[in-house]
Amino acid sequence: MLRPSPDRAADDDPQRHRCGGCDLEHVTAAGQRRLKTRVVREQLERLGGLAAPPVDVCREVGPATGYRNRARFHVDDDGRLGFFLPGSHEVVPATTCRALAPGVQEVVEAIGTTSAAEVTVRAHGQHRAVVLAPGPGGLELPEGPFDLLLEQPDGSVVAMRGDGVLAEEVAGLRYRFDATSFFQNNTAGAEALVHHVLEAVGSPKTGGVDGALVWDLYAGVGLLSLPLARAGAEVVAVEGHEPAAAWASRNATDAGLDLEVAAEAVHRFLRAARRGEGPMDPPDVVVLDPPRTGAGQDVVDDLVALAPATIVYVACDPAALARDAKALVAGGYRLTAARPLDLFPLTHHVETVVTFAR
């Protein structure tokens, strides 16, 4: 390096460490957000084929450290939990990680060493759960103030201590879910997603939330469905992971909200709706939060055929977003707003809330 960028973090900056997970730890916080803004814009331009897409500057949503409430750890030869060095299978002890939430760090310290092959720790509010993946030898179960679950070869888990049910409060709503169900790894980030999705659905251009028929695709345990229902929308939550769908229904009931839940794969649900099967009316708005691979061509084709007036797309991968955006625009939609959110500081990952209008 001949001349450091003004955005380069100093070598003695507290955020600098050796783990390979935080691949932007050498960049200042402001510099990281500028980079993420540029990545979202360039992907929409190059892969999406959009000229001058309306991309906001990436927004800070919470603390840059101590935010990650879930982590999966490797185990070194001494039984300590940690992460791989970049491009290596050498494990760095997790005590050096500043991205982990205090609750996760407390569990790591309580476990100390283990004979497991991998360990997943989740800490939501006051609830703690540990999922152990057994190694080739025997497995000693660690003691500690946390629920303990054992991962099976088929990916399911068996509760060894406690029931593994976690709880988190976001935007004044309480969510419960089991240790196998997805929930945002950053609680402040989850709050930001709820805020920006509600803002996108409820803007004057869409006619507002109250009274709108909204389909929430890839709904999980109801993170977005419940606030939409509370705001007055008629919400259908679609989730293919049956345990998560069941929790979405329970969470709505606990909150006194009316929510219709379809425990069905999104592509099957949309294909049936496209064929006109069932009594369901076409939606005014579709909200979708697909996995990292994106929604894909089949789901986009079905959305275009169903022709909702507004689509609010929560993207966790800019390249997948750009591919889906290209297909939506080709199908008659216009990208009206893109808001990158820095849910995972120190890493290249960025969430983007994108609005499409028919």
Residue type, 124: H
d(CA 202, CA 353): 14
pLDDT at 204 over 60: no
In terms of average pLDDT, the best of 80-84, 95-99, 219-223 is 219-223
DSSP string for residues in 173-227 = EEEEEETTS---S-HHHHHHHHHHHHHHHTSGGGT-STT-EEEEES-TTTTTHHH
User: Quick one: pLDDT at residue 225?
Assistant: 98
d(CA 52, CA 55): 8
User: Quick one: pLDDT at residue 203?
Assistant: 63
pLDDT at 280 over 80: no
Contact, 308 vs 283, CB < 8 A? Answer: yes
pLDDT at 184 over 60: yes
User: Quick one: pLDDT at residue 25?
Assistant: 86
User: Quick one: pLDDT at residue 341?
Assistant: 98
Alpha-carbon separation of residue 351 from 177, 187, 222, 229, 342 (angstroms): 22, 14, 18, 23, 7
User: Quick one: pLDDT at residue 69?
Assistant: 96
Confidence of residue 9 (pLDDT cuts 50, 70, 90): confident
pLDDT digits (tens, 9 = 90+) for 46-72: 999 999 999 999 999 999 889 999 999
Owner of token pair 């909702």: 308
Average pLDDT for the chain: 93
- Using only C-alpha atoms, the chain has a radius of gyration, in whole angstroms, of 21
Concerning whether 19 is annotated as a catalytic residue, the answer is no
Confidence of residue 323 (pLDDT cuts 50, 70, 90): very high
User: Quick one: pLDDT at residue 324?
Assistant: 98
pLDDT at 160 over 70: yes
- The mean pLDDT of 265-283, rounded to a whole number, is 88
- The mean pLDDT of 282-305, rounded to a whole number, is 96
DSSP string for residues in 330-341 = HTT-EEEEEEEE
Could you say which of 19, 22, 97, 316 is catalytic? 316
Kind and range of the H or E element at 36? Answer: helix 29-46
DSSP string for residues in 80-149 = BEEEEPTTS-PEEEGGG-SSB-HHHHHHHHHH-B-S-SEEEEEEETTEEEEEEE--SS--PPPPSSSEEE
d(CA 117, CA 137): 9
Can you read off the two tokens belonging to residue 72?
Answer: 């999966």
Please, how many CA atoms are within 13 Å of residue 135, restricted to the half-sphere of its CB? 16
User: Quick one: pLDDT at residue 94?
Assistant: 86
Alpha-carbon separation of residue 88 from 2, 18, 91, 115 (angstroms): 27, 12, 8, 21
Indicate the burial class of 163 (C-beta count within 10 angstroms; 0-12, 13-18, 19 or more).
exposed
- Which residues touch 172 (CB under 8 Å, ≥6 apart)? none
Higher pLDDT, 338 or 1: 338
pLDDT at 16 over 70: no
User: Quick one: pLDDT at residue 240?
Assistant: 96
The CATH class of the 37-62+186-357 domain is alpha beta
For the chain, domain boundaries: 37-62+186-357, 70-163
d(CA 230, CA 304): 27
- The mean pLDDT of 267-290, rounded to a whole number, is 90
Residue type, 334: R
User: Quick one: pLDDT at residue 205?
Assistant: 56
Confidence of residue 206 (pLDDT cuts 50, 70, 90): low
Alpha-carbon separation of residue 342 from 28, 49, 61, 127, 318 (angstroms): 13, 24, 6, 25, 13
d(CA 200, CA 337): 9
Owner of token pair 């920006």: 196
In terms of average pLDDT, the best of 93-97, 201-205, 276-280, 336-340 is 336-340
